[in-house]
Amino acid sequence: MISARFILRYALVSMAAIAVAQAVVLRVDAATAPVMKTKSAAMKSDRSVMKTARQLFEKMKFTEAIRLYETVDSGSDYWAESLEERAWAHLQLNEHDRSLGLLKTLMAPPLKNEIGPEPYLQTALIQLHLCSYQELFKTLKRFKEDIRPRHEALSELAKTGSTPAFELAMERAKSSGRFDRTIAGPEVSVLPRLFYRDAVLESSLKKNLSLKPRIKVLAAREVKEIDTNLRRLHLIEVEAVQRMHSQMHLADTKKSGPGIERDANTLVFPDDENEVWLDELDKYRVNAKGCPDLSARGT
């Protein structure tokens, strides 16, 4: 029986294997996502763009897929999804710096409350691939800090079908007559992702039917996703610790990556996660350093 650690190592060495795995993830997401509804021509257009980009991704036409993802506007309900999937596409092209830049955007305060566990997993995978162990452990810590409150709230919602945050969101929907992103409000961080795009939930609300069965399904689905990715992150953590204690990696030094070119027209902002410039979102650049070159070492 092949161990999970061997599978992880093989996936990290073979970028093609990661591409196949992500294609499966996209298909699974499409099969298990909330039943989506569409309200406007803009949303229909964005949804069509996402569908076509995903088809290109599965055909391994990553550059073409990226071009389509880039057309999704930052004001769209699909923007966060487009950034996440663009990051995967850049990863398949070995463009680690661009992928990490997009993931940093997703984890910035304006968006981090609306993302799931997968951006953390992808960030950790890249950092492990690049042997950026200190940054990897920061990502693992951040995952626990960001996701734990969400996991606890969703677990309660999956059990009972009701939490104060969800009831407040439904009150907003009834009073405003709208069922979109705005009804989630500040409670979005403790509610199922994209619940406001679920046609079954909206239909139940309009017909005065019980919302508990459907919201419990959505919450339970996301709890399962978090648990699955947490186990994967644990594997990555174990692998990183083993590498750090390996004499080979302790003896080697990393090669410096190329610096970001700066000129009179380039503004450089300090990396302060507590101060976010909204117009800088989707503009982050990350200098990705590769693992030590072991080709000169003996076996």
Phi, psi at 277, each rounded to 5°? -95, 115
Cα 293 to Cα 119: distance, rounded to the nearest angstrom: 27
Tell me if 205 sits within 8 A of 211, measured CB to CB: yes
Of 60, 88, 89, 84, nearest in space to 72 by CA: 84
Question: Residues 152-206: pLDDT tens digits?
Answer: 999 999 999 999 999 999 999 999 988 988 898 889 999 999 999 899 999 999 9
Question: Residues 6-17: pLDDT tens digits?
Answer: 344 444 443 443
Whether 58 shows a pLDDT value over 80: the answer reads yes
Selected residue with higher pLDDT from 45 and 123: 123
Half-sphere exposure of 29 (CA within 13 A, CB side): 16
Residues 6+ apart with CB under 8 A from 279: none
Question: Residues 75-114: pLDDT tens digits?
Answer: 888 999 999 999 999 999 999 999 999 999 999 887 888 8
User: What pLDDT is stored for residue 291 in this prediction?
Assistant: 67
30-39, 175-184, 250-259: the lowest-pLDDT one: 30-39
The sign of the CA dihedral 189, 192, 148, 117 is: negative
The sign of the CA dihedral 64, 65, 69, 70 is: negative
The CA distances from residue 52 to 45, 58, 106, 140, in Å, are: 11, 10, 22, 33
Crossing angle for the helix pair 79-92 and 96-106, to the nearest 10 degrees: 160
| Local confidence band at 23 (pLDDT 50, 70, 90 cut-offs) | very low
**147-151 mean pLDDT:** 93
User: What pLDDT is stored for residue 158 in this prediction?
Assistant: 97
